[in-house]
């Protein structure tokens, strides 16, 4: 059995296309935005680096303000391919991070998130998908995509599980900060 765990020194967050004209069209958009903000804020506290993509920002807008604020400083990587992996700037940034565990949050689950996850796994990365931080316009598409990614080897989990796994103990220096974020 291949148990996959997240370790701080090996983890990186990829936030996919939380854009001004895309996010409002998602099913339960406010819920996915809130969960994504909690995860991004918690990972920032834990010192986990992030990579942030936009899909054709000129037409679909920038990263929504709440998610951008939670992420902290970042340089958005604008892409035209659905898979972030097929964008040279993203691929180079990920490779240069030296990290092999990618936590993916974003929209739409069954398009950009799924294609990125499949490409990452095909190229030797371990992928974690917090199900509460991904969404599609149609919830059926999200569910089918989560099943496909899991069958392909991705770990389907939730934001809180990721944050507490990275903490490891209530004695961790960041415990109080993380507890306040997830409340």
Catalytic residue positions, numbered: 17, 79, 112
Q: What is the largest CA-CA distance in the chain?
A: 46
Q: Is the Cβ–Cβ distance between 173 and 66 less than 8 Å?
A: no
CB atoms inside a 10 Å sphere around CB 1? 2
- Taking the alpha carbons at both ends of the chain, their separation in whole angstroms is 34
Query: Using an 8 Å Cβ cutoff, are 131 and 102 in contact?
Result: no
Residues in the chain: 183
């Amino acid at each position: 059995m291949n148990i996959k765990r997240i370790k701080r020194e090996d983890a990186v967050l990829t936030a996919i296309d939380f854009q001004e004209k895309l996010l409002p069209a998602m099913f339960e958009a406010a819920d996915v935005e809130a969960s994504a903000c909690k995860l991004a804020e918690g990972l920032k506290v834990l010192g986990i680096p992030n990579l942030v993509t936009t899909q054709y920002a000129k037409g679909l807008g920038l990263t929504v303000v709440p998610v951008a604020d939670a992420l902290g400083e970042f340089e958005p990587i604008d892409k035209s391919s659905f898979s972030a992996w097929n964008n040279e700037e993203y691929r180079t940034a990920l490779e240069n991070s030296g990290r092999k565990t990618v936590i993916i949050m974003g929209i739409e689950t069954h398009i950009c998130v799924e294609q990125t996850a499949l490409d990452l796994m095909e190229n030797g990365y371990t992928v974690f998908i917090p199900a509460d931080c991904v969404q599609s316009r149609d919830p059926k598409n999200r569910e089918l995509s989560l099943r496909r990614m899991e069958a392909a080897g991705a770990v389907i989990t939730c934001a809180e599980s990721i944050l507490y796994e990275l903490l490891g103990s209530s004695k961790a220096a960041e415990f109080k900060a993380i507890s306040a974020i997830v409340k």
